[in-house]
């Protein structure tokens, strides 16, 4: 018989019962704090996820730079007896030769230039299709930037992009005439434009703040590796049609990898899918051999100090927090950052692409040239990674752009013949070196400047400005000589001057919402 006494728990007087266990107090943490405290900032889970996701960067570089080989002007030679019919091997251009007195060395199928006669008065069409490709990239970056922040998510957008890349790449190879080719290149650009934004954000968002910088800066190695791989593919497949098919195969293979890639827990969180976000955080902790207590709850930055309802505390779905470019424009802080970021991206791209577009005019082995060009950028990436946490994002962004702009201005003052031509070439190499470093650090800088809810939308806008600079670059190159170098120098100096007004994000938290970012800015 049990005797029940007030305010006590006993059996037959002497034998006490244990009081009911109290439920553990819920510990609310943001993504960064949870990664640092319980899950691990960069363990085996993040390494696998990072490597698989960043393979998409190689796809972007392949689909972008394939035009260098497909649209090249191949060598030509006089036909037998051509000298007597108006053909001279010493002629500077086929435009000076009589039709029918010469032929393309590797046949008309070697490039689009040879197949459709894009020489002489039709030469502008080569630059036109390249510029229109970047127009497609600009549109696609904005569209997929929005979709990856909203309904599709980062992983879903990447899946759609790779599928479209594979389809449009293969259709390009079947183009019956020039204007169909232009159309499919625009469509390929549309899908390619979203690759970098989605892959970069998806790869870096699950990484802790102390490791995110180095990881984010390392994504460009995959881009350069893609260009180097393309050189080999182009060497094996000299026909432009076969090249487009071969360069589309990696996109098909990447679709098979996607099931092994997870969606971003940050995206799940801002979409109100807390259970899915917590499931991924638990996977990260388990894979990294860490322990994530059941009493820990993942919340947005602004909810850490806010009392939650029982359903929310149990991880029940909340109303999703959405954001778009309109929300960025409504926020004075975010609006100013977006304006500066887009302008800097534009100037950087004009210089970067402008200084590298002359590779087909160097009269050397094109395949080796493109390969070495890709490899030569890697020291700039290494140097940026080493210096980024020492000097901060802001000072390094200013310094690398001023460095590039200075050497471009020096190049504009030099003559283009004799030994001065070599010095000008060195100035161009140093200009590319500086901008390659800027290009690299801008990605991690931009990621940290905007909160999760609008991060991809903001990066999509920045990517649009980037592609707009790529559109303009070929027209600057046409100016040639000192004028082109002067324009590149002015763009470098302008970009560095604008970076002065950006805030430093080193050792600052990665905010989830605009409200949290504005509060952090006021501190």
The per-residue pLDDT for 360 is 59
pLDDT in tens, the chain (523 residues): 334 444 444 444 444 445 554 556 778 888 888 888 889 999 999 999 999 999 999 988 899 889 889 988 888 778 765 555 667 766 667 777 777 777 888 778 888 988 898 888 887 888 888 889 988 988 888 788 788 887 888 899 999 999 999 999 999 999 999 999 999 999 999 998 888 778 888 998 899 888 887 888 788 889 889 988 999 999 999 899 999 999 999 999 999 999 999 998 888 888 888 899 899 999 999 999 998 888 888 887 666 655 555 454 454 555 556 667 888 888 888 899 999 999 999 999 999 888 877 665 546 577 887 787 788 788 888 888 888 888 889 999 999 999 999 998 998 887 766 677 777 777 887 888 888 888 878 877 888 888 878 887 888 788 778 888 988 887 787 676 678 889 999 999 999 999 999 999 888 877 878 888 888 776 5
Q: How is residue 382 written in tokens?
A: 């290494």
Instruction: Assign 3-class secondary structure to 323-386.
Output: CCHHHHHHCHHHHHHHHHHHHHHHHHHHHHHHHHHHHHHCCCCHHHHHHHHHHHCHHHHHHHHH
The per-residue pLDDT for 62 is 92
The per-residue pLDDT for 4 is 41
Return d(Cα 143, Cα 318) in angstroms, integer: 26
Which residues is 297 bridged to in the sheet?
A: 28
Return d(Cα 494, Cα 322) in angstroms, integer: 34
Cα 163 from chain centroid (whole Å): 18
Among residues 424, 414, 376, 412, which one has the least CA distance to residue 493?
412
The per-residue pLDDT for 345 is 93
The per-residue pLDDT for 343 is 95
Return d(Cα 228, Cα 371) in angstroms, integer: 5
């Amino acid at each position: 018989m049990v005797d029940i006494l007030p305010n006590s728990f006993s059996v037959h007087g002497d034998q006490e019962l244990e009081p009911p266990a109290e439920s553990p107090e819920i510990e609310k943490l943001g993504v960064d704090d949870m990664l640092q405290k319980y899950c691990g900032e960069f363990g085996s889970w993040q390494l696998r996820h990072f490597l698989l996701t960043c393979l998409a960067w190689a796809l972007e570089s392949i689909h972008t730079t394939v035009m260098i080989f497909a649209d090249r002007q191949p060598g030509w030679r006089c036909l037998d007896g051509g000298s007597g019919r108006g053909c001279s091997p010493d002629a500077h251009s086929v435009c000076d030769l009589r039709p029918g007195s010469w032929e393309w060395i590797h046949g008309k199928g070697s490039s689009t230039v040879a197949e459709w006669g894009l020489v002489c008065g039709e030469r502008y069409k080569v630059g036109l299709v390249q510029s229109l490709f970047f127009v497609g990239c600009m549109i696609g970056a904005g569209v997929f930037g929005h979709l990856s922040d909203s309904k599709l998510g980062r992983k879903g957008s990447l899946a759609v992009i790779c599928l479209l890349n594979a389809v449009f790449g293969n259709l390009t190879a079947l183009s019956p005439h020039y204007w169909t080719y232009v159309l499919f290149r625009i469509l390929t650009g549309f899908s390619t434009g979203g690759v970098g934004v989605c892959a970069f954000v998806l790869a870096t968002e699950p990484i802790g703040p102390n490791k995110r910088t180095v990881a984010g800066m390392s994504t460009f190695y995959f881009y350069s590796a893609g260009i180097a791989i393309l050189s080999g593919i182009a060497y094996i497949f000299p026909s432009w049609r076969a090249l487009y098919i071969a360069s589309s195969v990696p996109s098909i293979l990447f679709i098979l990898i996607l099931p092994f890639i997870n969606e971003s827990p940050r995206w799940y969180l801002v979409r109100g899918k807390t259970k899915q976000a917590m499931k991924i955080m638990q996977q990260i902790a388990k894979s990294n051999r860490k322990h994530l207590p059941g009493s820990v709850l993942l919340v947005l930055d602004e909810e850490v100090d806010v009392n939650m309802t029982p359903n929310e505390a149990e991880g029940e779905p909340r109303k999703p927090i959405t954001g778009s470019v309109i929300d960025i424009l409504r926020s004075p802080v975010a609006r100013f950052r977006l304006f500066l970021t887009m302008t800097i991206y534009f100037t950087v791209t004009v210089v970067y692409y402008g200084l590298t577009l002359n590779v087909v005019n160097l009269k050397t082995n094109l395949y080796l040239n493109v390969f070495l060009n890709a490899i030569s950028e890697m020291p700039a990436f290494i140097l940026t990674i080493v210096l980024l946490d020492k000097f901060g994002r802001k000072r390094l962004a200013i310094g690398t752009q001023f460095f590039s702009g200075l050497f471009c201005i020096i190049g504009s003052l030099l003559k283009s013949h004799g030994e001065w031509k070599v010095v000008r070439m060195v100035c161009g190499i140093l200009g590319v070196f500086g901008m390659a470093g800027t290009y690299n650090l801008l990605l991690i800088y931009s990621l940290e400047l905007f909160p999760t809810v609008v991060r991809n939308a903001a990066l999509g806008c920045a990517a649009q400005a980037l592609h707009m600079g790529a559109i303009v670059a070929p027209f600057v190159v046409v100016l040639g000589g000192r004028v082109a170098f002067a324009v590149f120098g002015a763009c470098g100096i302008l970009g560095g001057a604008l970076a002065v007004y950006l805030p430093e994000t080193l050792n600052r938290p990665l905010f989830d919402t605009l409200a949290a970012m504005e509060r952090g800015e006021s501190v």
